[in-house]
Amino acid sequence: MKEIHFSSDDEETSLEYLYNIGLGHAKGGRPKDAIFYFDKVLKVDPTHVNALVNKGNALGKLGRYEDAISSYDAVLKTRPTHVLCLLNKGLALHYLQRYDEAASCYDLIPQPESEHASVLYHKACSKALQKNVEESISLLERAIILDSEYAAKAGKDQDFDILKNDERFKALVS
C-alpha cells in the first residue's frame, strides 16, 4: 500500500477540521469528546492556541481544574496576557479554593479587558471568599454598573455569603 504524504496546507486544513469537530462537541456539551479531538490537534501542533484554550475549558467542565490550568499555562508561556486563559485559569483556581492565586490571575488581565463586568465579578467573588469585604463590594459595584444582570446573580451566589448582611451589598443586589 502506498503511503500518503500531506503537504503543509493539507495538514493545516486537517488540523482545523479536527479542531472544529472538537469545538462542535464542546458547544454540544460533550467535553470528553471535545478533549479527544483537541488532543489529536495538539499531538501534531502542541502550541495550537485555540485547541489548548478549549481543551482547558472542556477539562474545567469535567471538574479537572489542575489539568485545565496546565492547558491554560501552555498558552500563557507564549501569550502571557491572553485574556480568556487568564480569566479561566482564575476561575479554575477559584474552584480549587486558591482565591489569592485566582485574584492574581485577574490582576494580570490587561486594560481594557480587566474592566469587563465578568472579570470584575469573578474577582469580587474571590475577594469575598478572602474576607476582603471592602474590595469585594467595590468590585461588585463596578461589575453591576457595567452589567446589571450581575446584581441578581450576586444575590444568589454563595461566594457572597459573607456579605449577605452588609447594607451596601443588599442595596447592590436589590
CATH number at residue 23: 1.25.40.10
Grid coordinates belonging to 159: 461566594
Q: Is residue 155 part of a domain?
A: yes
Q: Is residue 84 part of a domain?
A: no
Predicted TM-score (pTM) of the model is 0.87
Grid coordinates belonging to 160: 457572597
Query: Does the pLDDT at position 80 exceed 50?
Result: yes
Least confident of 5-9, 58-62, 140-144: 5-9
The pLDDT value recorded for residue 9 is 54
Domain count, the chain: 2
Q: What range defines the domain where residue 136 resides?
A: 101-174
Q: Is residue 87 part of a domain?
A: no
**Percent above pLDDT 70 for the chain:** 93
The pLDDT value recorded for residue 10 is 56
Contacts of 113 (CB under 8 A, 6+ apart): 83, 119
Q: Is residue 158 part of a domain?
A: yes
pLDDT tens, position by position, 150-160: 999 999 999 99
- Residues 16 and 61 grouped into a single domain: yes
The pLDDT value recorded for residue 70 is 98
> Left if phi > 0, otherwise alpha if psi is -120 to 50, otherwise beta: which for 131?
left
The pLDDT value recorded for residue 7 is 46
CB 35 within 8 A of CB 26: no
The pLDDT value recorded for residue 13 is 76
